Structure 1
Amino acid sequence: MGTAVGAVDNKETARSLADLNPSVVFVLGGPGSGKGTQCANIVKHFGYTHLSAGDLLRAERNSGSENGTMISNMIKEGQIVPAVVTIKLLERAMLESGNDKFLIDGFPRNEENRAAFEDVTKIVPSFVLYFDCSEEEMERRLLSRNQGREDDNVETIRKRFKVFLESTKKVLEYYNAQGKVRKIDAGRPIEEVFQSVKGIFGPKNEKAD
């Protein structure tokens, strides 16, 4: 019999993650909000490991593994990859990193992702770092960065922004009710945004040079 999608030794994974007792920060922001740049700064200054759910799925899809083939086939058929598959990839990356502090970028994308993550991993995030940026500013950045590439025209950008807002709204509401959303005005220059980020993570967490 083939291995089920995302199958890992659940007991082993759960026990190992429980032993790790990791600090997890979810990082959310629309396309062009600059969260990738800020995640790189947080890694450098505060010693977190940056995990992108999208990058992990792409890497697995391209790996030639049985899981990767299944993921690739699902995407080709227009199916949504189940949340548990992404979560298992995140778990594996966390365990392999040797770290206990993680930025999980672009996840959870919706309420189903959020509920599944907490259910499967038994981990509750420390907080959600939300990069709030206007649609106009994100449009300007993406068009400038990509020099108007076909796949980043205004219509596509607006569609991506709308999907982001609709899918993450309930996630932000859920964590906001728990006082766990740290909203950053991401429409400012990179250095100004990072000063706000540093204020959230605090000097006690900063890496010594």
Structure 2
Amino acid sequence: MPTVMEKIADALHIPHRHHQEAPKEEAQPATEAAKPAPVFDSEKVTVIFVLGGPGAGKGTQCASLVQDFGFCHLSAGDLLRAEQNRPGSAHGEMIRTYIREGQVVPMEVTIKLLENAMREALEARKDSGADGWTDGRGRFLVDGFPRKMDQALKFEEDVCTARLVLFFTTTEDEMLKRLLKRGETSGREDDNEESIRKRFRVYHEQTMPVIEHYNKQSKVAEIDSSATIEEVHIKAKEIVSKVFTGEVTRNVTA
């Protein structure tokens, strides 16, 4: 009988990976098998992860950076919410439960949704002539992902290596205030204080190690998002512009 993850894999067209013992007569010397290359070449496809606590202003700043640099903005949360509401989705209720409880949805689902969205954007824009979108190139802001170390490693192994991590920071009190205000009109199930507190705990336990991982690779640009939207935008724009001019962006703080 198929497992839950196998059903999800079927729905998203993810190949099953069955491990079988090779026949003895075909046994090979114990050498590490070559890993397949990621789907997208990071020399052509620029991926910038946008991380920060719930309510740190990630989505707001992404919208401005899209206007500045022609990015395709992919919100992992938005993709998951769209999938949970998609008619006929085989796992919409499962996604809804994870989001309501402030937990991380199984990475196979999120990563495949992101990969599919990247493919669609590259196909849709390939003839647009837009800056950064010619000859198989593309620019992506991936917002709210990866939220766990296994997600980070799996995405880079299977999909594309990230060029930079924009890390927006502010206080929990400020984030709570913003989220409760948004909850008055957003209609999101997780914009209530109980869910928000759970999301804060998950963020500290699971996402901060991701930041440390990329810090060690000198890929993190930390930005204090307590200031006004315009002030934060100026800092973010300056940092991202260096990615495309080849200037150093190693572990800067703005």
Which residue in 2 is equivalent to 1:39?
62
Give the TM-score of the pair, scaled to structure 1. Answer: 0.81
Q: In the TM superposition, what are the counterparts of 1:136-151 in structure 2 within 5 Å?
A: 136-147=173-184
Which residue in 1 is equivalent to 2:85?
62
Q: Determine the C-alpha separation between the residues in 2 that align with 1:17 and 1:93.
A: 13
Contact preservation (8 Å) 2:38, 2:158: no
The answer to which structure has the higher helix fraction is: 1
Q: In the TM superposition, what are the counterparts of 1:88-167 in structure 2 within 5 Å?
A: 88-98=112-122, 99=133, 100-121=138-159, 123-147=160-184, 152-167=191-206
Unaligned runs of 5+ in 1: none
Out of 178-187 and 49-58, give the one that drifted further. Answer: 49-58
Which residue in 2 is equivalent to 1:184?
223
Give the TM-score of the pair, scaled to structure 2. Answer: 0.68
Provide closer, same or farther for how the CA distance between residues 156 and 80 of structure 1 changes in structure 2, counting only shifts above 3 A: closer
Which residue in 2 is equivalent to 1:6?
12
Instruction: Identify which of structures 1 and 2 has the higher relative contact order when contacts are C-alpha pairs closer than 8 Å and 6+ apart.
Output: 1
Q: Is 1:75 matched with 2:95? A: yes
In the TM superposition, residue 162 of structure 1 has moved relative to its aligned partner by 1.9
Q: Determine the C-alpha separation between the residues in 2 that align with 1:77 and 1:137.
A: 26
* Residues 49-85 of structure 1 deviation map (CA, whole Å, 9 limit, x = unaligned): 00011211222233335xx21x224336769643122
Higher alpha-carbon Rg: 2
Out of 159-168 and 191-200, give the one that drifted further. Answer: 159-168
In the TM superposition, residue 143 of structure 1 has moved relative to its aligned partner by 2.9
SS at match of 1:17: coil
Out of 74-83 and 189-198, give the one that drifted further. Answer: 74-83
Which residue in 2 is equivalent to 1:195?
234
Pairwise CA RMSD: 3.1
Q: Determine the C-alpha separation between the residues in 1 that align with 2:38 and 2:158.
A: 12
Q: Determine the C-alpha separation between the residues in 2 that align with 1:162 and 1:109.
A: 12
In the TM superposition, residue 152 of structure 1 has moved relative to its aligned partner by 4.2
Unaligned runs of 5+ in 2: 17-36, 123-132, 246-254
Amino acid corresponding to residue 31 of structure 1 in structure 2: P
